[in-house]
Amino acid sequence: MEILQVLFIIAAAILTVLNLFILYGLRRGKSIGSNWKKEIFFSIIVAAKNEEDNVSKLLSSLRKIDYPEAMYEIIIVDDNSSDNTFAAVLNYKNEFTNFSVHSLKEKSMPGKKGALDYGISKAQNPFILITDADCRPQRNWLKSYAERFIEGYDFLFGIAPFDVEENLINKISCFENLRSSILTFSSANLGIPFSAAARNFGFKKSSFEKIKGYGNTIETLSGDDDLLLREAVKNKMKIGTISGINSFVYSSAKSSFKKYFSQRSRHTKTSFYYLPSRQIILGLWHAVNLICLFSFLLIRLDILFVLPFIIKLLFDIISVRINQNNFGYHFKIRETIVFQIFYEIFLIINFTGAIFKKDKWK
């Protein structure tokens, strides 16, 4: 009994330390207020596969971007779609100064990475921004990246919230996105980046080429963001975050539990290929969270077992309440408690799915 008590108390102590580091990390990484008007030229790359119904929202949002049109180009790569994605994109060709759409039949590597690699090879500008065909960047998206790139960053990633709806799967998806974002942003600001959202991702083209692009990331179909970031870390490149006003990139969450679990399992599988140091840190983080969450099941043995559970619950509430507005969300305290439990349990389900499910690019 005493050994078990010590184990749970140690887990609670580790969780406390890790949470304090996370909260500290989120206070770092702010822009120094550079002048975005320095000439930063962007190539926006989008890989689209069967996005006929979504691509109009993306292009309408890009049309509202507050940035000189002469300083950016848009490249859409239709990755062998079976619907009318290519024709839907062509309808917008005359609405932009520098716009191109490519129909891709063959590619150098499988999945989305092949389409993105092709688009990047066509880029004329030195800074690359990646987003998805079903996304909606805010009007200061390019300005925010410009402010950070002139500070010398090689890779940057921003906030990518889901649209909030009043249904269970959406709430769970949004909460998972919030918790993941808190962890990834804090880690990057502390100098230990491990993950980013490809919906809001940018880098110097020269830095991309220096690490051989996606060439060293083909262990799995996914990971066009996380594994590229891994290669940047291995090459000691400067990695930062974007949190400027009106710099979010919005998209819709998955509409069913089946699609949600499929997506999360695919993303979880990518973590199998993280750097060992990141795997250890993440493994420790999730392990102590799960230990503290389920400690209340042992209350019948000793009331002391309620302490790790209370410590975890308090930190979960504090972390969400302090940071949620910065990531585009607003959860009530009771929602935080309920969805945090869902989040932890679904981690186990997604890990199992990552082992047994096969990857596919739509």
Q: Which two tokens stand for residue 308?
A: 């790790």
* Non-local CB neighbours of 308 within 8 Å, separated by 6+ positions: 8, 9, 11, 12, 15, 291, 292, 295
The domain containing residue 234 runs over which residues? 42-160+197-253
Mark whether 108 and 149 lie in a shared domain.
Answer: yes
Return per-residue pLDDT of the chain as tens, 362 residues.
Answer: 577 788 888 899 999 999 999 999 998 755 544 555 578 999 999 999 999 999 999 999 999 999 999 999 999 999 989 999 999 999 888 889 899 999 988 888 888 999 999 999 999 999 999 999 999 999 999 999 999 999 999 999 999 999 999 899 999 999 999 999 999 999 999 999 999 999 999 999 999 999 999 999 988 888 889 999 999 999 999 999 998 889 999 999 988 988 898 888 888 889 999 999 999 999 999 999 999 998 888 877 777 888 999 999 999 999 999 999 999 999 999 999 999 999 999 998 888 887 766 666 55
Whether 20 and 51 share a structural domain: no
9/147 same-domain check = no
User: How far apart, in whole angstroms, are the C-alpha atoms of residue 155 and residue 195?
Assistant: 12
Q: Dig out the tokens for 252 from the structure.
A: 């819709």
Strands 72-79 and 42-48: parallel
DSSP-derived pairing of the beta strands 239-241 and 155-157: parallel
What lies within 8 Å, CB to CB, of 26 at 6+ separation is 182, 185, 186, 189, 322, 323, 326
| Domain assignment of residue 352, yes or no | yes
Give the three-class secondary structure for 58: helix
Nearest to 331, CA basis, from 200, 188, 170: 170
Integer Cα distance of 124 and 357 in angstroms: 38
d(CA 204, CA 277): 25
Are 113 and 51 in a shared domain?
A: yes
Q: Is residue 51 part of a domain?
A: yes
For residues 151 and 285, membership in a common domain is answered with no
Please state, in angstroms and rounded to a whole number, the distance separating the CA atoms of residues 199 and 48: 12
Residues 17, 139 within the same domain? no
What's 62's domain CATH number? Answer: 3.90.550.10
Dihedral sign (CA 88, 89, 90, 91): positive
In this structure, is residue 21 part of a structural domain?
yes
Q: Are residues 131 and 233 in the same domain?
A: yes
Asked if 224 and 278 sit in the same domain, the reply is: no
pLDDT of residue 359: 64
- What pLDDT shows up at residue 43? 98
Rounded distance, CA 216 to CA 228, Å? Answer: 8
Q: Which of 183, 218, 253 is the last residue of a domain?
A: 253
Q: Which stretches of the chain are DSSP H helices? A: 2-25, 55-63, 85-90, 111-121, 141-149, 168-189, 205-210, 226-234, 257-270, 276-293, 306-323, 333-356
Residue 69, classed as helix, strand or coil, is helix
Confidence (pLDDT) at 1: 57
Q: What is the pLDDT of residue 69?
A: 92
| Residue at 361 is within a domain | no
For residue 163, the 8-state DSSP code is: P
Residue pair 161/328 in contact by the 8 Å Cβ criterion: yes
Q: Is residue 174 part of a domain?
A: no
- Number of residues assigned to the chain: 362
Residues 245 and 327 in one domain: no
285 and 236 both lie in a single domain: no
Q: Strand pairing of 42-48 and 127-132?
A: parallel
3-state secondary structure of 240: strand
Is residue 280 in some structural domain?
yes
Same domain, 347 and 285: yes
Are 295 and 237 contained in the same domain? no
Number of structural domains in the chain: 2
Q: Given this model, what pLDDT does residue 36 score?
A: 54
Residue reference for tokens 């940071």:
323
C-alpha radius of gyration, the chain, whole number: 21
Which one-letter amino acid corresponds to residue 293?
Answer: L
Is residue 309, in this structure, part of any structural domain at all?
yes
**120 located within any domain:** yes
